A = this chain, B = another copy of it.
Amino acid sequence: MIEIDPAAVEDAILSLARHGAHGETGVWRVAYSAEWSSAQAQIEQWLAAAGLEVRRDAVGNVWGRLEGTEPGPVIASGSHIDSQTPGGRYDGALGVVAAIAAVRALKERAGRPRRTLEVVSLCEEEASRFRSASFWGSRAITGETRREHLDEVRDAEGVSIGDAMASVGLDPERFADARRDDIDTFVELHIEQGPRLEDEGYAVGVVTGITGIRHYVVELGGRSDHAGARPMLGRRDPMPGMAEIVLDAIGNALELGPPAVTTIGRMEVEPNLPAAVPDLVRFTIDARHPDAAEQERLFALHEAAMRRVADARGLDLVTRILLDLPPAPCDPATVATFEAAAADEGVPVLKLHSGAGHDTQRMSRIARTAMVFVRSKDGRSHTPAEFTSVEDAVAGIRVLAAGLRRLAY
């Protein structure tokens, strides 16, 4: 059994959470902020203390390297340290703490690995400051960043991501240097963010793949009218049309059955006055499925519902697709390695898919991937209330370490 000190893990979680602490248990730590800089500096210090060779890459990802005895591509583990606004102590941060603890434990127990191990603290995943910069850290590693992003990607105050990088001492023009082509396997430990491990009584899960995600923006247009002077029958009111599409879309996901999910989370009404029939209702439909064929079925049902409702009610329908991430299956052999590693450690694990997006889905473009999930209290995340017990975190770190041992030693 790989020994991981629970007190050290708890201390690391709480120490990291002080950088950008928000209220009692929250964290507000957006990319390239002062809090973010001090958190990355803290991680550099821990990596150095663990005896790893530390460097910060061109976009601000922090790496720690433990050179293997053999040449060849790298086995890497890590997650992101930026947060929601506010988020909690665990989403992302726990995966960085876990990777450091796992590699440190392996080094202390077994010395130098056969294959090179790296730990990475990714600079930006949530896009909570730069709305169009999700996976900014991992996209730079996979070579998906383009020079024009440096100026085009801006925060709510209009600051470009290039200027924000310069403000923390990075040279944005060097962004392409962050690209890696020598990563064989990337493994990320993350909180589940959902209720399945809790519901089924597991502390730890091994992830088989990451769901596909599509965001539609739906604009349903009618004709604004006076709420009193226009009788019901002559109206072209988009509001009941929206209501029908909401019920149909949620009904489609229920009918297709788990793991299909569909969420209407954002809505805007124009002119948004109590005494005016709206001109326009604009809303999002977030539709997810981890299986590509089933996801296409879900999309087709949603699109048919929108068309049917708009036609039946004589409403104008405009739809745009704002986000379209295909399902990203994990590497079956690597998944099997982590299941075997969990058995080594005597940790029972549930195999499950991830319903949330993760840096791992970008890394899957250049590396074999797997993920280790740990139980989220009440299935919550993206809130200061998110919580994972130290016991569950330690169980997950043991599985992570045992898997890295199988891959690198």
Q: Is A274 an interface residue (CB 8 A)?
A: yes
Q: Please state if A194 and B230 are interface contacts (CB–CB under 8 Å).
A: yes
Smallest CB gap from A281: residue in B: B267
Q: Please state if A266 and B261 are interface contacts (CB–CB under 8 Å).
A: no
Q: Please state if A229 and B193 are interface contacts (CB–CB under 8 Å).
A: yes
* Those of A233-283 within 8 Å (CB) of chain B: 233-234, 237, 239-240, 242-244, 246-247, 250, 253-254, 258-267, 269, 271-278, 281
Given contacts A228-B355, A265-B275, 7 further A-B contacts (CB under 8 A): A194-B230, A195-B234, A213-B228, A229-B356, A231-B261, A263-B274, A274-B286
Q: What are 9 pairs between A and B in contact, CB < 8 Å?
A: A194-B228, A195-B234, A211-B228, A227-B355, A232-B261, A232-B262, A243-B247, A267-B272, A274-B286
* Those of A199-221 within 8 Å (CB) of chain B: 199, 211, 213, 215
Select one of B194, B244, B262 contacting A229, CB under 8 A.
B194
Assuming the contacts A194-B230, A196-B231, A250-B237, asked whether A265 and B261 have C-beta atoms less than 8 A apart, the reply is no
A404–B133 alpha-carbon span in the complex (Å):
69
Select one of B242, B275, B288 contacting A228, CB under 8 A.
B288
A150–B196 alpha-carbon span in the complex (Å):
57
Q: Is A174 an interface residue (CB 8 A)?
A: no
Select one of B234, B264, B269, B383 contacting A379, CB under 8 A.
B234
Q: State how many angstroms separate the Cβ of A383 from the closest Cβ of chain B.
A: 7
Q: Is A114 an interface residue (CB 8 A)?
A: no
A192–B231 alpha-carbon span in the complex (Å):
12
Q: Please state if B232 and A258 are interface contacts (CB–CB under 8 Å).
A: yes
